[in-house]
Structure 1
Amino acid sequence: MSQASSNGSKTPAAGKSATVRKLKQFEKTPPDLGVMFKADVENIRRQLKEEKAMSSERRRQLESQLQTLLDLIAATAKKK
């Protein structure tokens, strides 16, 4: 079985490990995180908006992930 490679189309259910992998790739020279995480941010926002039967724990997890991504993007944007 082959897995999706560098195109990033395959993300795990929790989403966090993919984010950690992306960050580790660019520890020394971070790229524009706004561009890098745009799809992740959009997917989390879509899930929060569309999934009505989501458990409160799952909603908190997604909101936490979204806030973490937005904080990372804001922090790197200020350094430029």
Structure 2
Amino acid sequence: VEGSRISPEWHGWLHHTWDETPTDKPLVHKPWEKPHLPNLTGTAEAYAPAGSLRRAEPADRKDYEAWSPE
């Protein structure tokens, strides 16, 4: 099982940080916390920086000239 698929609420219970499960005692979420996302590596939703070949339209490289032997 991919570890990032486990929601953060269960992390503390699984690692014996607290005794109550999140269903018994739900965690209080801060207003600045983002919702949990599993690791998206290897999926179509994975992060691809600007210029990456994984983007739908990769940026043209004007500063690169391919070498060709003479």
TM-score by length of 1: 0.20
Q: Which protein shows a greater Rg?
A: 2
TM-score by length of 2: 0.21
Higher RCO structure (Cα 8 Å, ≥6 apart): 1
The structure that is helix-richer by fraction is 1
